[in-house]
């Protein structure tokens, strides 16, 4: 699995390096002919670029579409300390990454692995680890205090599909299929954050089952089928638990078991709204 991830990341970085114009260099496709006219590229330009039509750039002998907008990255996301009382009444300290102020607070402003409106889907429990102890989720049948994810209701058997996260580089890959929050599928995503690549996990929990043929190590693009909504691990409560965690620096995911992926020593829980893609009607003009 590790070689697959390394090769994917390396290819992505190679392509990205080619997409970033040098100072004074015309942007591919900006004039309609700059990418195809060797003279327009200047005497020191890479002659391979002239072989590709406007709006594309070469990558290992193939012309690939160039981005239509500038490459951006997340501002560095910093973990904050929090405290709450566990079920025994003892104070517990933890780390969490709260929602960035510029990101919409309304959960309806985002896309999810399942549709919100169609078939009655809705967010019934949101992220609350940034709130005071008294405002965090508790319940007679809940084993944990506070909620580090988002619970989305949908009909049993509704397809759960992969999301490409904000500022994601390359495709995501499946790193775990098995018991975590009920039957879960965990995907790994590389995001540009603070000028570097950081790894994030997306946990899709309480599934009825995984997609046919889905296995650890699979590389998936936006919209790929991950599984189906169910109530595994939460009998009678059919919903999708969606949790985002940032991998701590130096942690090798390939050495971890399923339960260790969500352990605070390996990953930091993050408000999903920091990285979920915005819904079409919430995009900035």
Find the mean pLDDT for residues 43-63: 63
User: Stretch 217-223: mean pLDDT, rounded?
Assistant: 96
Structural domains present in the chain: 2-65 (no CATH), 80-282 (2.70.70.10)
At which residue do the structure tokens 């995501």 appear?
A: 172
pLDDT at 282 over 90: no
pLDDT band at 45 (very low <50, low <70, confident <90, very high): low
Instruction: Name the band, by pLDDT with cuts 50, 70 and 90, for residue 23.
Output: very low
- C-alpha span between 184 and 95 (Å, rounded): 23
The answer on pLDDT for 11 being more than 50 is no
**Token code pair at residue 127:** 């992220």
The whole-model pTM stands at 0.72
Q: Which 3 state secondary structure label does DSSP give 148?
A: coil
What DSSP character marks residue 69?
A: S
Place of tokens 């089928």: 225
Burial of 77 (C-beta count, 10 Å sphere; 0-12/13-18/19+): buried
């Amino acid at each position: 699995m590790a070689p697959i991830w390394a090769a994917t990341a390396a290819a992505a970085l190679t392509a990205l390096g080619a997409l970033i114009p040098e100072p004074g260099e015309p942007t591919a496709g900006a004039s309609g002919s700059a990418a195809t006219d060797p003279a327009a590229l200047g005497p020191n330009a890479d002659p391979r670029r002239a072989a590709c039509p406007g709006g594309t750039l070469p990558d290992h002998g193939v012309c690939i579409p160039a981005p239509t907008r500038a490459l951006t990255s997340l501002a560095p996301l910093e973990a904050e300390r929090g405290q709450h009382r566990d079920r025994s009444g003892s104070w517990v300290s933890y780390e969490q990454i709260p929602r960035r102020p510029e990101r919409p607070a309304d959960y309806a402003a985002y896309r999810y692995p399942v549709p919100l409106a169609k078939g009655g889907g809705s967010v019934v429990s949101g992220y609350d680890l940034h709130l005071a102890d008294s405002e965090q989720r508790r319940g007679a049948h809940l084993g944990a205090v506070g909620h580090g994810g988002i619970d989305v209701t949908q009909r049993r058997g509704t397809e759960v599909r992969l999301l490409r996260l904000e500022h994601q580089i390359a495709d995501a890959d499946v790193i775990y299929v098995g018991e975590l929050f009920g039957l879960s599928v965990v995907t790994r995503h590389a995001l540009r954050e603070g000028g570097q690549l950081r790894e994030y996990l997306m946990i899709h929990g309480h599934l009825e089952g995984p997609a046919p043929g889905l296995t650890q190590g699979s590389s998936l693009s936006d919209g790929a089928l991950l599984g189906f909504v169910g109530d595994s691990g939460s009998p009678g409560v059919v919903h999708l638990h969606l949790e985002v965690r940032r991998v701590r620096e130096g942690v090798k995911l390939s050495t971890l078991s399923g339960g260790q992926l969500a352990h605070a020593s390996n990953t930091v829980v993050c408000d999903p709204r920091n990285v979920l893609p915005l819904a079409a009607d919430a995009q900035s003009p």
